[in-house]
Amino acid sequence: MCDLPMPNRHSIESSESEDVSDTTTRASTAESSSQLGPKAMFNEMESGMINIIIEEATYKLIVINRDGDKTSAPIVRKPPMHVRFDPAYKNQLLSENMVVDLAMGKMILVKLQNDVSNLRKLLSDTHTEMAEFGTFETLQTFMDNDIQSEQEELILIRDSILNEKKLKILQSQLEGVNRECKNVLKQLDDEIFDLETKLKDARIENDIKTKLVQQWERTRHEQARIIIQGKENDLVQTSTQTKANIERELRLKSEIDVYINYCIDQISEKIAFWTDKYQREIKALDAQIAEHKDKIVNLKVQFEEMTILFKHREKDLKICAEFMKEREQQLALANKQMRSAIKIQSWWRGTMVRKGLGQFKRKKKQKPQKAPKKGKKGK
């Protein structure tokens, strides 16, 4: 659904309030002008001068208006405002076979003739009234009515202009709303079309899925039936085999009982044999333990004797150890001196060889004899 934007109600109400205030002020001015108090009275001289002016103006209007004297005809009043601004009234004045310019000229001419006739009638009535009573109440009433109608016409023109502006604004808003509504409707149509296509696809897909599910259910039930039947056959075979196994186990149990009794007899005999053997071996081991105890006592006595002997010879061992230690130190020192002497001797021999000292002294090389100089030729 598209929401129509509401016009600026505050601005419209403010303009309407201004129009109403202007209308009331103008109406009040018109009423105040129509109610001016007592009628104006003129003396004979003023009335005569005014009558002369009115007669001259009437004569000029007679010259201008070529339709003859229409002073006896009543004053033709303008149509009301709502009639004059009605398009039907304008179309009535314009003939269908008449050109627009000619029609406008005719309208202006008719209006001019009516205005001149009305003015002549008004001046004639005013002249008569001035001649008889010395007042111009008819002229004043006509002027008040004319001013009031002119004010009403101005108000209506202004209202019509404002209404046209408001109409344009509302039309533009309506066009914008229509465009938005059309866009929304188009979008909704597209969405509806998409939803319809999706619904059709979903319906077809659901039908296919339903068929597949039904086939799957049938195959599943058949498969379950086959599996259950196979399990049932297996259970029957298992039960028969279990019965046979139970009978065999019972037979084996009886045989095992017989064998166990036989084994118990054999084991009891072996236990008696091993018990006797254990007692004999225990006695032999006790004798061996007694012998070993005697040996331990003898060894303890020998250990004590050896301890006493070690204490007597401990000083000799210390003296021998010190002697051996000193001897090792002397041997190490002699060995070190020998190595040092060898190193010094080898160093000195190398030095003598390098320097050519002693028996390693180098022999001087004999210089070769120089050849005798030959005399110069050609002197």
In a domain, 300, yes or no: no
Hey, what are 233's tokens?
């056959």
In a domain, 250, yes or no: no
- The HSE-up count of residue 158 (CA atoms within 13 Å, CB side) is 13
Q: What pLDDT shows up at residue 310?
A: 85
In a domain, 228, yes or no: no
In a domain, 255, yes or no: no
Q: What pLDDT shows up at residue 30?
A: 42
Residue 21 to residue 105: CA distance in whole angstroms: 37
Residue 6 DSSP code: P
In a domain, 216, yes or no: no
Q: What pLDDT shows up at residue 374?
A: 57
Structural domain including 115 reads 45-135
Residue 264 to residue 349: CA distance in whole angstroms: 102
How confident is the prediction along the chain (379 residues), in pLDDT tens digits per residue? 444 444 444 444 444 445 444 544 444 444 444 444 444 455 555 556 566 666 666 655 555 554 544 444 444 455 555 555 555 655 555 544 445 556 556 666 666 667 677 777 777 777 777 777 766 677 777 777 878 877 887 888 888 888 888 998 999 999 999 999 999 999 998 999 999 999 989 989 999 989 999 889 889 888 898 999 888 888 989 999 999 999 999 989 999 999 999 999 999 999 999 999 999 999 999 999 999 999 999 999 999 988 888 888 888 888 888 999 999 999 999 999 999 999 999 998 888 888 887 777 777 666 666 655 555 555 4
| Phi/psi of residue 378, nearest 5 degrees | 85, 15
Q: What is the Cα 277 distance to its own chain's centre?
A: 97
In a domain, 55, yes or no: yes
Q: Buried b / exposed e across 215-248, counting CB within 10 Å, b at 16+?
A: eeeeeeeeeeeeeeeeeeeeeeeeeeeeeeeeee
Hey, what are 331's tokens?
């041997």
Intra-chain end-to-end CA distance of the chain, in Å: 149
Q: Which of 153, 183, 155 is nearest to 18 (CA)?
A: 155
Q: Which of 178, 167, 142, 153 is nearest to 34 (CA)?
A: 142
Task: Find the length of the chain.
Answer: 379
Residue 329 to residue 57: CA distance in whole angstroms: 177
In a domain, 343, yes or no: no
Q: What pLDDT shows up at residue 228?
A: 92
Hey, what are 106's tokens?
């005719």
Domains: count for the chain: 1
In a domain, 124, yes or no: yes
